[in-house]
Chain A
C-alpha cells in the first residue's frame, strides 16, 4: 500500500472503475468498415459509420464473442440482452445517439481477484460503440468551447467497445492500479483487446468518494482523462485528499465529473450534475434482442486460454519466484511463460531462466527466436560459475543478437574462462597482503572497506573473477 493512499483522521477511500476497451475485431461494431488505429482520418467509414440517412446497424458477431470472452474471464453471468440508444448531440457522434446496453447488459455479476486474494466485484461488462475523435484548434483549453475550428475523424466511430464497470470495492489507490493492471493482463490474455492506454484502446473513468467506516458512502466524483496506470493512482490520491480537505474545511462534495490534468497533478470540474445531459435512453428499434445460445457460450468458455493469475502461479512455482513479483507478472504479460517453461524443461536453472527472459527479452515477443536449449545452457554456465554474472550478461546479448548458438563456444571466443578456485584464492590472499589497512577495517566490521579489496582482485584477474564469489571468499576469511 502506498503511503499517500492512507487518509488522515480515519477517512476511508472508496473507488469504483469504469474501464472502456476497444475490441480487437477486424471490422466495426455495426458495419464492415475496418477497425484499425492510426489510419488516415476518415478512411475507415461507410454509411453506417457516418449515420447517413437510411443506414442501419448490423451486429458484429465477433464483437459479441470477444465481449463474452471478457465476461467469462471476469466470472460474469452471460444473459440475454438488449441495446438502447443514448441520445446526445456532439459532432463526433454521427447519429446523435450512441448504441449501448442499458438495463439488460450482456455480462453481469462477476469479479476479479487481486494479489492477496482481494476480490473486486464486477457489476457489468456491456457492449457499445465508440465515438469519432474531435480535435480542436485555437483557443487555450483544447476543448471545443473557445476554439477556432475543429476537425473530425470518424475512423473510431462505431469501433466496438466493452465497458467494464466494477463495484465500489476498491479501497486504496494501489488496489486500483492493480485492478487496471490485472484487467489489462486478462484482456491481452484472452485476445479481446490490445488494451493500449496510450492509444486509447483502454480508457479509465474513476469514481472516487470518501467516508468514515460504518457510515454510508460519500458523494462520488467521476474523474475522466486518466490515461495511464500511474495516473490512476495519482488521480485517486489527489482526489481523495481534495475531498477530505473539503469536508474537514466544512464544505460538501458535489456530485460532478472532473478532469484529471496529468501535468499539474490535479483534478478540476468538467461538469456538475445539474448540467448533465438527459440521455433519453430507449430500446434501439433497429436491432433485435441478443440471446447467445448456451452452446455458443460453452464453446467460448472452453476455448478460453489459461488466465494470467493461473499462469503466474504456475510459473512462479516452477521458477521459485513470488507469484505477485515483477518477473512473473512481466513474463506472463508478454506471453513468454511458455518459453520460460521450455527453457526450464531443457535443463535451465529455473530462477535464472525467468530473470533472463524478464530482463533481456522485452522486445522478443511470446516466441523468442533464441532456442530454449541455448538459453538453458547459459543459465547453467552461470550457475556452475563457469562464467561470472557480468560475463553471462554479455553472452546473453551475444546470444540474442545471433539468434541462438553454442554459448560455451561464445564464452571461449570472448575469452571468458572461469578461474579455478585455487587461482582465485591466491588472488584474494595477494589482495589482503597488498591492502592490510583495508583488510583490518573490513575485519572490524567496516563494510565499505570491502570495495577496495574486491577492486584490487578484479583488477588482478582482468575482470575474470566473479564479484560474488570474491565477496563470499573474503567473508569466509574474515570470519575465520
Chain B
C-alpha cells in the first residue's frame, strides 16, 4: 500500500493520477468493507469528482497541494457540508451539516480526497467501537478482535488500506489506543494545535483532532497541514504549525527519555516486554533513559471519568429534538425531550450523561467535579517536574493488544481501564502519539506511546521516528 508521501510525490510529479490512486483504494473498500465496517458512509462519487478536479488542475499546470490526491477518511464526528455526520448515534442520523469543519476545509485546500466518514463509538465514548449505534468495526488484522476506539473506523480504514490516512479525535486516547490495536501510527497533538471548529464536541477541554497514518513521516506531513491557529476556535493556540518533517532524521542521540517508575498496574507482560525493548532501542540510538515519577497518575482515570462526562452532559444537552436530528413526538415538551433522548442515545452515552450531570449537581460539585479539577492540576505539576528532567516519556499505549469482541462490554470499568495510559496527557493538554513497535500476544501489534510536554511535538516526533527505525 502506498504511503501518503509517496502518493503526494507521484500525483504531484505526474507519474500517477489522483483518480487511479482513489480507484485503488475504492477497490480495497469494495473487497473488504463488508467484513470490516470501517465506514458509516463511503463518499465514492464525490471523491471521484474531487480526484478528477485535482487531476485536471495538475494537468493545467496548477501547483499540486501538499496532500495532492491523498485519499483520506474522516471520523464521523467531523462536520462535512451537505454530507451526513452522525457521530454513530441514532439521534443525529440523517443530519447534514451546513458547514465544513476547519480541518476538512484545510484537507480539501491541500488536495486531499475525502473517501468517507468512519465509524466510532457513539459520540466518541468508548474504547472498542462496540458502542456505535450502527454496529462495530472489525480489526482488519483479526476480525474476531476490536479495532479499539473510539476512532476505531479511522484506524481500521488506514490499517486495511481503505485510505492512505485518516483523521480521528482523541479525548482520552481515542486516536492512540485504536492506532496501537490496528498497528498504525496515531497522534494526539497538543491541545489547541488543531482547530476543533466543526468537531462535534464530547469533552471540549480534552478533545483534539489528530492523524492516523501508516508511518511517522506521513503523520508529520499530515499534521503540518491540519495544525495552526484558527480564529473560529477560541482555544486554538495563536501560532503557526510547527515544522515536524524536518526533525524526523535528527535521531535521539543525547536526548533524555523518561521511564515512569510508578506506572499503574494491570499492563499485560507481552506489552511490558515491548516497552523494555523500546527503551533498549533508544539507549542503543544514543539516548539516556531517566526514571521519573508521576504520583498523580493513579488518580487520572477517576478524574477523567468525572471531567469528561461532566462536559459531555452539557455538550450533548442540545440534542433535544427541537432543531435538528431525530425527534420522538410526545404530548408535552418534557415528554418529548425524554422520549427523544431515550430512543436517540445508546447505553454508554446515557451512562456518561448521568455521571456528568451528577458530578456537576449542587451539593456534589465540590466532592466530584471540583476534586477532579484538582487532580488535573496535580498531574500537570507532576508532568512539569518530569519534563524538567526529560525530553520525552515512553509508556505503553494500551495495557493489552486488541481484545476479542464482547470481552469487556458487560464491564464498563474494565473498558475504561483501556485508557489508563492515554488519559493523563489529555488532562494535561500535552501531545502524545502511538507508534507500532513489534508484536505481542497472538501476533497482534503493540503500540508504544511517546509523550512530550506542551508544544513538544518536535521532540515527540524525533523519538517516534527513531522507534520506527528500530522496530
Contacts and interface: CB of A to CB of B under 8 A. Distances in A.
Contacts of B322: 91, 152
Contact of A53 (B79, B311, B332, B333): B79
Contacts of B199: 54
A369 B344 CA distance: 63
Contacts of A51: 318, 323
A94 B317 contact: no
Contact of B234 (A91, A94, A288): A288
A97 B317 CA distance: 8
Nearest to B99: A47
Contacts of B198: 54-55
Nearest to B233: A56
A419 B197 CA distance: 81
Nearest to A92: B322
Contact of B98 (A47, A96, A280, A282): A47
Contacts of A280: 313-314, 357, 360-362, 365
Nearest to B98: A47
Interface residues of B, number: 43
Contacts of A52: 79, 97-99, 324
Interface in A271-299: 278, 280-282, 285-288
Contacts of B313: 87, 280
A59 B231 CA distance: 10
A85 B369 CA distance: 14
Interface string B302-346: 000000001101100110101110000000110001000000000
B317 A95 contact: yes
Nearest to B195: A56
Nearest to A96: B317
A300 interface: no
Contacts of B234: 56-59, 286-288
Given A58-B234, A94-B323, A278-B361, A286 B204 contact: yes
A50 B95 CA distance: 14
Nearest to B336: A91
Nearest to A51: B318
Interface string B85-105: 101000010010111010000
A158 B99 CA distance: 19
A33 B57 CA distance: 35
Contacts of A54: 78-79, 97, 101, 196-201
A89 interface: yes
Which of A52, A278, A281 is most buried by chain B, counting CB atoms within 10 A of its CB? Answer: A52
A59 B235 CA distance: 11
A55 B201 CA distance: 9
Interface residues of A, number: 30
Nearest to A154: B323
Interface in A73-112: 85, 87, 89, 91, 94-97
A144 B331 CA distance: 12
Contact of B323 (A50, A56, A288): A50
Interface string A40-72: 000000010011111111110000000000000
B296 interface: no
B360 A56 contact: no
B1 interface: no
A56 B201 CA distance: 9
A286 B235 contact: yes
Contacts of B310: 282
A56 B232 contact: yes
A89 B235 contact: no
Which of A55, A94, A95, A281 is most buried by chain B, counting CB atoms within 10 A of its CB? Answer: A55
B205 interface: yes
Contacts of A50: 323-324
B318 A53 contact: yes
B320 A89 contact: yes
- 10 smallest beta-carbon distances between A and B, as pairs: A96-B317, A285-B205, A280-B360, A285-B204, A53-B200, A54-B198, A54-B79, A91-B322, A278-B362, A54-B200
Given A54-B201, A89-B337, A94-B318, 7 more contacts: A52-B97, A56-B232, A87-B313, A91-B320, A95-B318, A144-B333, A287-B235
Interface of B: 78-79, 85, 87, 92, 95, 97-99, 101, 196-201, 203-205, 231-235, 310-311, 313-314, 317-318, 320, 322-324, 332-333, 337, 357, 360-362, 365, 369
24 contacts: A47-B97, A47-B99, A51-B323, A52-B99, A53-B92, A53-B97, A56-B232, A57-B234, A58-B234, A87-B317, A87-B360, A91-B320, A91-B322, A94-B318, A145-B332, A278-B361, A280-B313, A280-B357, A280-B361, A280-B362, A282-B310, A282-B365, A285-B203, A285-B204
